[in-house]
Structure formats: structure tokens, C-alpha cells
Structure 1
Amino acid sequence: MQQNSSGISSQPASAITLFLAGDVMPGRAIDQVLPNSVDPKLYEDYVKDAREYVKLAEKVNGPIPKPVPYNYVWGDAFAVWQKMQPDMKLINLETSVTTHPEPWPGKPVQYRMHPANIPVLTQAGIDFCSLANNHTLDWSRPGLLETLQTLRKAGLPFAGAGENIQEASKPVVLKVKQNRVLVFAYGSPGSGVPADWTATANRSGINFLPDLSENMVQQIKAEVRKVKQPGDVVVFSVHWGSNWGYDIPPVHRHFAHRLIEEAGVVLIHGHSSHHPRPLEIYKGKLILYGAGDLINDYEGIKSNDDFRGDLSLMYFPTLDPATGKLLSLKMVPMQMRSFRLHKALKEDAAWLAKVLQQESSRFGTRIVLEKDGTLSVQK
């Protein structure tokens, strides 16, 4: 197997292709257009009814037929998956799945989806949900417990939250071809995860990442060593960083590098930002510093328009399981309209390619726009 100058190699038959998405948020307003909806009452400063967010979206792109079928929100994503044929689909599920009526005290924004709407995930064939984020406990610990129970009942693997620290810190082991994909999920306070959401031996909560120190690198290394076998692909799913902006804190970059160098991680799946952030190929391994939102209910909300939060990327990295190195990376530009994913227009794909190339070039990564409208890392 030969390697080119970027460190990306040609593909062996054993190659594994993943689908990665950043934040998938089927709660709040999207829950209100699905077949089963929770009480729309919110405890936010400015919006007190989740249906107000539906109205904002409809003002921009017209009426949304209600109720929509469970596969509605994924829209053109199904055709993309059919073409790309990923071996598994990994997302950050950014909502509580519960009917519990009491929000976390003082939490300024609350997301929840009715448990009966879980087919929105199962019908899309999602294989893994990270729960280590700043919305999983929006409806308090009873809401978290119902979320965990709902995912278990639906057969949806998850990591990053649990009934105690033992469950919250446990990675998910997914079998693919002749290999395994191990997914470790952590939530950082820099993304808005409260420290008192931390799971303990006797308390439910999040697998909290208190800092990005060398000590944490060594702790994660020890956790990986407990379960990693030869040929395993280790994915580190992390909710970190601010919602907006392209700057990557040096400490994030150093931490990602150290996980690759020291802890056996071969892919960093970063999320929290509402738009795609720069990416890096380090020692042949992929680092997504911020995958951006894939599904949200921000349509019609006028803020930070320069970042084009309506645009998103579906990421399809192909890895060599023997080395963990990135063989290729395809990214498919999408746009959220009427709470539904649409293939992005040519000019929007070109805008995304230009911005992502500009921001990723400082890490030595070259992004190109292909003739079919997809983005790829230049070999």
C-alpha cells in the first residue's frame, strides 16, 4: 500500500468507511412537527413555546406539513447514504429524549424529544449516539434516565452518559467487517457542559472531560488499553469549543495530537460548533475540530449569519483498520430547509469549500470542490 505526500494512502479491501455527523438535534421545534410531541412549554428567556420556532422556520421557507413522517428530517441524506455506502453511522445526539416536565434549574436553553419519536433515529439506521454534550440533561436526571432507557429499548448504542460513571465512561464497541470500532465519548466544559452534570459512582450524568492536560491524555490512554485489540479503530468523540468561529484553541490542537501520538486514537470526532470548523490530517489521522450541526431548528433565527449555520457537511472518512490512517475523506454539503436536509446548491457548496480550505490550510490541509459537488481532502 503506497502513501502520497499528504499521508493519505490508497485503499485496501479491508478499508472501513464511516459516516460522521456533528450535532443532531431532533428536539424542541422539530419534535413539534413529528408524530408525537412533548408539551411545547419552554423555560427560555425569550421563547416560552417550542412551536414559536416552527413559526420562525415557516416564515422563511413556507408551511411545514404536520405531522411529518419520521424519515422527513433526513431528506436527501438517504440518497447520499445510498451512494456512499458507509459501514456505520455515528452522530452526536444533542437532545434529551423524555416527557419529564422539569428542566434543569437555570438552564437557558432546553431540548427534548418525545420517546415515541425515536424512529427518527432508527429509520435512519444510526449505529451510535454520543450523549456527552450540553443538552442531554436539559430535563434533569429523570429525563436522562428516560433517555437512556429509550435508547436501550430501541437498540441504539450510546456512550458518554450513563446511570453512573462506570456506564458513562464505557466505550461502545461496534463490529464492522473483520474489525471493531471503539467509540469513546467525552463532554468538555468549554462547550457548556456543567461540571455538576458529571457522572459519579453513585450519580447519573455525563462522561466529563475536566481539562485537556497531559494527565487526561494518560487517563484516556489507560482506558483505551483496557479494551483495544489489534486491528481496532479507536474514535474519540468530544463535545468541545464554542458555537461560532473558526479559531482552534492551541490547547485543543495539542490535546488532539497527543491522543493520536500516545493514546491509540486514530480519529478525533469533535463537535459543538454550529458550523463546520477546520480539519487536520495529523500523522495520517483525521481530526475534525468541529463537525458543525447537521440537524437543528435554528431556521429563521437571525444571528451569526456570516457563518451560514444553515449549511452542513456529511463526513465520510475511509480508514485503514490495520494502521488507523485516513485513506480518503468525502464531505457532502447539505442545507436545512423546512426542518429537512437538502443537497446544497452548487454555489453554497463552493462557499463551504472556499471557507473550509481557507481555514484548514493553516494546518496544511487542502480541501477541494469536486465536479459532483462534494468536498474532499486533496491527495
Structure 2
Amino acid sequence: MKIVKKITLVLTTILLSACSVEDPYETGPTQSQQQEQAAQDKENAQSVTFTVTIKDATGVIVKNATLNISGTTYTSDDLGRVPLPDLPQGNYTISVNKPGFQSYLTTLQIDDETESFDLNIESKPSQSVSLFFAGDTMFGRRYMDQSLITMGNFLPDVEDALIRASSAAENAIALTQHVKPLVQSADFASVNLETPILSIPVSVHPTKEFAFFSLPETLQGLTEIGVDYVALGNNHVYDYLQNGLDDTLKYVTEAGLLHSGAGNNDSEAFAPLITTVNGLTVGIISATSITGEDNPIDYIASGQKGGAADLTDTASVISAMESTIAQSDYAVAQLHGGDEYSYAPTRYISNRFDVLGAESPDLMIAHHPHVAQGFGLINGTPALLGLGNFVFEQNRIETLLGVAVIVEVDPSLEPKTKSARAYPIYLEDYQPKLVTGFLSDYLIRRLGEFSDSNVAVIPKQGFAEVLFAQTVSPTASPPVQVTLPAGQHIVDLRAYAPSDAFLTSIQSSESVDMRMGRDLMLFGDFEDWDNDDEFGEVSRWENDSDNITPCLTGAYRGRQGMCLVRTQFDNRPLRMPFKHTIRTMPITPGDSTLLAYHDMSLYGYSKGENAGALSAEMSILTSEDNLVFSEQTLQIKAEGNYDWQTFEHSFSLPEDSNVIGPENLPARAVKLTFLHSPPADGEATLMLDDIALISWQKDIILTDGAWAQNTMHGMDFLQVNSQKDVTISLTFSSFQ
């Protein structure tokens, strides 16, 4: 086992020193910084040359296929080969197209270990159509002013904003550029447009807590990448009342976008969009269960009032579904509802799935929770249970990974959709990007965990293959042995298997207590997995200082870690906050999000070269309003020289009976800042890597010393508590 030493943590009160002796930057680069710069220069001077061979699903060579990478298009030769010379190291999205085949798109990391490889593309029947669906989308609020929580009757104009009124079209096009290859790979593309479209905001809803609008020019951020349709049946389309709805319908239509789900009365709102895609008639209804009934002015359409289609109106939504089925070859229902920040459908949205599923549409889709959920099969209808965000600007860490899905439609089959491809969407500083590696696998394994048992979710490079009404058994790898002394230990499962694998079997030599945990931090590996043009950036940590940088020389695993470099000539600690409040996860599956997991552990790896003391400030907060339950400083590691060692601190959130604030809120969140104190003398380098905030979620019950579960999950940690020395055998599985 790689763990070198378990570090005991001691709680102390926070001590902040404001006295500075000397600016440490005046001393110039330290020796470790010079070594890191040399490593960076060496990597930047390297390029990668390899060959992609394109084959069909049976392994037959495919010639004259087009391959696009980094804006350059190549054609496969008579042997299916595409030589790719002199590529800088980085993350790349590769798309492959050929008539008679499904479009293929993958994102992968190319480095000095990349070797030539094959890409297998699937044949596509002539009558087959591909449909793209993505989640919550808007171009307002923090895109225009990062300080905004809601919007009013004014037009923000902030100099450094991602979107400004004077350049809104250009800004929106730049914002969506990295997902353009994905959207354009489908025959038809849909998003949930969760915003009114206004040029001048004058009629904001008087009592709504959160109101948004986006400028008409920003719709080019959708049309330029190939979006064809927007769902309007959501709880924000009426944020600016009837004036805003009128403008929205006008500007969306002028932009050439098809739509359904909202109108000037309930008949218009429930009317399906009927369109033809490559000879296939597609019908789409869109409706929301968030009606605003607690407000004097609700959000839904009625006989003489505009708004969104009302998903709670069972008779009307069934009638709309029946009408859509009657008018189309392929009927789609988009449901906007469920509990925000839930990881699986909760009680009411599950009921709506059942109600509409009884009508046997061809596909059902849900959005609103802002968190990507799994996949289902409801009364034989494939269901995308929750898409999460697509173009959105929330700060909550659980909203940063959405999913976009391309479903394959073959009208000659029953059901017409048997498979789909799911692409994780990472909102890095509010900009949607495709991802690969751990970040992609992390989300895909979680989606598989919370999908129905009759749906197979199979991780690939930067996407998942989703097979409805099918089960696929994973392949087990040879078991690994881990020996632990008596006591309580955390086993980092990431050390023993690739990120697309998952623990499926445990055997223990002794009677032990075990439970599995999930990392809620996501970004403690300090790696760069997204497909933008910058390679190696780390954006979820405050590392603006030249002395806190991602470093090749400071990696415990993977490509890079984080280096905190300093001298003794400043008696203030070097501070590295994690940007986000990390909220605990609601117990999932569950009827609501009210109950949550409480037991947690901070875990990670550190290495010191004449390092100062390592500590962490930890605050326990409410999920909303950031009300503080407690603040403490964890003394993690004393100063000195040491090789890579683990550190851990286990704790529990206060019981739910302990509440604070006028709304009686329980503890639901954690804030973290790491500190590197000055050394006794000289230059100090502290390296951190693979940090996690673990939520303990699943007890492991051994039967005759063994446990087995052959389904995918997203838990990467095992806690073992034994009265004796124990050897455990771990078996991991993956889809080959």
C-alpha cells in the first residue's frame, strides 16, 4: 500500500498574523521554481506525433473518412490511417465523419506517452437520425456582472464581464466555442433556454427571488454552434412577465430557433413543436412543475395569461403528449422539475415521468435541478433523468458538471431509440467545455450508479455509451492485496485502478467495519482535463500568486500537483483557498433533498522540501447564506523535509437538530483554505496532490468475510476499522 504515514490532526483556533517582515517576491525565483520552469520549458518544447487508424465496429478499415482536430481536417488513407504530426501536448477533441456512419467525437489527453491507436465508428442506417439534448442555458446574471445574485430593471455594463451589451454576440459565440464540435455532430440540437430574451429590462417579476434575462444578440452563441430548438417550459421564461415573454417569443423566432413550452395562453404553451429532421417528423412538448403558485403572479400560462406550460396540470399535459404522438414519428417530452441540487429524480418528478411514460412517448428528458442525473427506462420509454447545466453561471460545485446527450433514432426499430452517447460538460469559469480523463469518468460513473438497472452506462474517452433495455457485465481485473495494521484507515482506491474502474468485490481476513465514500471536491487532483487551448491551468483554487502554481515537479500521481513556494522572509502564511463551498450530498436516491450524509474526511498527499508547517482552515456552514457553525485550524504537518505522505481528518457535520439563522438551517457545507507557514530559514517548497473531501455514504456488509456488487458506482474511498491486523483483497471492474 502506497500510504507512507497517517498524519494526526490537532484542532486549534485560527491565528492570523498581519505583520510582514519583507516581500518574499524580492528574493527572486527559488531553486525549486527554477527546476519547475526547466520542466515546463522541456515539456513545451516537445511535440507528439502519432497515427489514428479509423475502422468500423467489426474492425474493417474505413478510408476517406474525415478527421478534425484543432480546426484542421484530415482524410484517412487507403489503410484508414490519419498521421497527426507535431501536436503540442494537451487535451484535444477529435471528430470523425463519413457518410453511412454515425458521427464520432471523443476528447482525450495527448502527451509524450501517447501512441498510435484505432478509432472505431458505427454504421448508420440511411433512415437513422441523431438528436442532441443539453440542459439549462442562459447568458445573463453573472455573465454580465459576477457580483449579481438576481437581475432587475437595469442593464449591467461591467468592464471585465464575460458578456457586455456592446459585444454580446461576439462574447456569446466565444463562450460556446469549445462545445461547437459536439453540437454540430448531431442532426438536430435542443437546449433548455432558461431565461427571457430582452433588449431593455423594464418589467421584472415583483416577488420572484431569482430573475434572469439575456440579450437577444447572445442567441448567436446557440445558433452559431448549431442549436435548432429551445425548450421554454421552465420557471424563468416569465421572469419579466408578459412584456418579457412577448420579447422572448419575438427574438427567439427572429433568431431562427424553433421552440415550444411557453405562450400567451395555455393552449399555445402546451402546443408541441412539430418539425422534420432528415425525413423524420419530430414532436416536442416542454412543461414545468415549478409554477410559482406561492407568488401573487405565477409563472404558468392559463386561459387568458401567458407563461410556461404547467406540468402539474395532469389532464392538459397528457392531452399535449397524446397530440404530439399523433402528429409525429418521434415524440419527445421535456420535463422541467424536481428538487434543485438533487442527484437523482425525487418523488414528484418521478411521478411526472410515470404519468407521461404511460402514454408511451419515444423519449423523456428532465432538467431543472442543475445537477446531472442518470438514465432510465420508464414503461419502455428511454429517459434522460437530468441533464444539469449547459451554459450557466452558478458557483455551486455540484453544478459545474452537466451532461449533453446525443440519442440515435432509427424509426424502423421498436423502441426507436436503443442507444445514446453522453458527454460530460464542464463549466470552467462559466464556460462550457468537453472533458476527458478523471473528470469525465467521475461523472459517468456517478450517472451509471444512479441509472436504472436495465440501462448500461459504459465509460469511453470523454463520453459514455448508453444502452437502453440492455445489461452489460463489466470485466474484473486481478485482485490487489492491501495489508493494514489494527485501527481505522482510509484506503484510496484511486491508487489501485484507472478512473473508469470501480470496486466490485472485497474479501477480508478479519471481521472489520467498512464503508465507501465519494469525493465531493472533484478538483483536488490539480489536473487539467478540459478541451480549451490552455493546458495545465487550475481554476478551482485561488492561486493568483506566483508562489502558488500547478507544477510538474510536484505531482504525486498524474501530470501535475500544486506547489506552494516561499522563503522565511515573510511571517504570514501562504494561503490557498478552495474557491467553492463544498456542500454535502443529499441521501440518494431519496424522496427529497432534506436528508443528507454527515460523516466526512479531508484526505490528501503532501511532500515537503524544507517546508514550513502545513495547516488548513476549515469552516462548517449552512448550505444557503453561508452561516457559520464553527471555524477551526487543522495542524496537518510540521515543518521539515519529508517524502509523499497522506494526511486525513475525519469529522461529522452537526446533527440536524442544531440549526442557526432565521430560517433554522442545518449544517450542510464546508469551506477549506490550505496554509503554508514560513520555514525556520531558507527556501521552502510544499507540494500537494490528490486532495479529496470524502462523504461516507455506503456501509459495506461482509458475509463470510466477503462482499460483492457488480454495478458501477462513483465511490473512490474505503474506510476500514479493524481490531486486528487485516489483509483485504480488492477486485475492480471496468467495461473493456
TM-score range, shorter chain: 0.7 to 0.9
Alignment match, 1:315: 405
Alignment match, 1:24: 137
Please point out which of 175, 179, 182 is paired with 1:73. 175
- Where 1:314 maps in the other structure, the secondary structure is strand
Alignment match, 2:186: 86
Cα distance in 1 for residues equivalent to 2:214 and 2:405: 25
Among all aligned residue pairs of Structure 1 and Structure 2, give the percentage whose two residues are the same amino acid: 22
> Is the contact between residue 221 and residue 264 of structure 1 (CA under 8 Å) also seen in structure 2?
no
Mean Cα displacement is larger for which, 315-324 or 231-240?
Answer: 315-324
Cα distance in 2 for residues equivalent to 1:197 and 1:128: 21
Offset of residue 338 of structure 1: 3.5
Offset of residue 250 of structure 1: 4.2
CA gap of 1:282–1:193, structure 2 versus 1, over 3 A, is farther
Cα distance in 2 for residues equivalent to 1:357 and 1:140: 39
Alignment match, 1:3: none
Offset of residue 343 of structure 1: 1.7
Please point out which of 371, 376, 384 is paired with 1:280. 376
Where does structure 2 lack aligned partners over 5 or more consecutive residues? 1-122, 471-736
Cα distance in 2 for residues equivalent to 1:203 and 1:254: 27
CA gap of 1:249–1:118, structure 2 versus 1, over 3 A, is closer
CA gap of 1:219–1:199, structure 2 versus 1, over 3 A, is closer
1:252 paired to 2:345: no
Cα distance in 2 for residues equivalent to 1:151 and 1:207: 17
Alignment match, 1:118: 219
Offset of residue 95 of structure 1: 0.7
- Where 2:243 maps in the other structure, the secondary structure is helix
Q: Which one has the bigger strand percentage? A: 2
Matches for 1:155-234 after TM superposition, within 5 Å: 155-189=256-290, 196-210=298-312, 216=314, 219-226=316-323, 228-229=325-326, 232-234=329-331
Cα distance in 1 for residues equivalent to 2:323 and 2:430: 41
Alignment match, 1:356: 447
AA at the equivalent of 1:321? P
CA gap of 1:135–1:222, structure 2 versus 1, over 3 A, is closer
1:341 paired to 2:432: yes
Alignment match, 1:330: 421
The structure, 1 or 2, with the larger RCO (C-alpha pairs under 8 Å, 6+ apart) is 1
- Where 2:421 maps in the other structure, the secondary structure is strand
Aligned-CA RMSD value: 3.2
> Is the contact between residue 271 and residue 292 of structure 1 (CA under 8 Å) also seen in structure 2?
yes
Cα distance in 2 for residues equivalent to 1:228 and 1:358: 31
Cα distance in 2 for residues equivalent to 1:52 and 1:287: 41
CA gap of 1:354–1:210, structure 2 versus 1, over 3 A, is same
Offset of residue 346 of structure 1: 0.9
Cα distance in 1 for residues equivalent to 2:159 and 2:270: 34
> Is the contact between residue 262 and residue 270 of structure 2 (CA under 8 Å) also seen in structure 1?
yes
**Per-residue CA distance 1:118-167 (angstroms, 9 max, x = gap):** 32222122111111111111122211111111112222111111122222
Matches for 1:230-245 after TM superposition, within 5 Å: 232-245=329-342
Offset of residue 267 of structure 1: 0.7
**Per-residue CA distance 1:258-280 (angstroms, 9 max, x = gap):** 4233x241111110011211210
Cα distance in 2 for residues equivalent to 1:191 and 1:295: 24
CA gap of 1:141–1:343, structure 2 versus 1, over 3 A, is same
Offset of residue 240 of structure 1: 0.6
AA at the equivalent of 1:94? E
AA at the equivalent of 2:133? L
Offset of residue 43 of structure 1: 5.4
Offset of residue 100 of structure 1: 2.4
1:376 paired to 2:478: no
AA at the equivalent of 1:176? V
- Where 1:167 maps in the other structure, the secondary structure is helix
Offset of residue 283 of structure 1: 4.9
CA gap of 1:111–1:360, structure 2 versus 1, over 3 A, is same
Mean Cα displacement is larger for which, 352-361 or 143-152?
Answer: 352-361
TM-score (normalised: structure 1): 0.79
Alignment match, 2:240: 139
CA gap of 1:237–1:19, structure 2 versus 1, over 3 A, is same
CA gap of 1:251–1:100, structure 2 versus 1, over 3 A, is closer
Paired residues, what number?
338
Cα distance in 2 for residues equivalent to 1:135 and 1:106: 13
**Per-residue CA distance 1:198-242 (angstroms, 9 max, x = gap):** 21232211111225xxxx2x5444334445447610000110112
> Is the contact between residue 234 and residue 290 of structure 2 (CA under 8 Å) also seen in structure 1?
no
Mean Cα displacement is larger for which, 144-153 or 333-342?
Answer: 333-342
Q: Which protein has the larger Cα radius of gyration, Structure 1 or Structure 2?
A: 2
Where does structure 1 lack aligned partners over 5 or more consecutive residues? 1-9, 34-39, 58-65
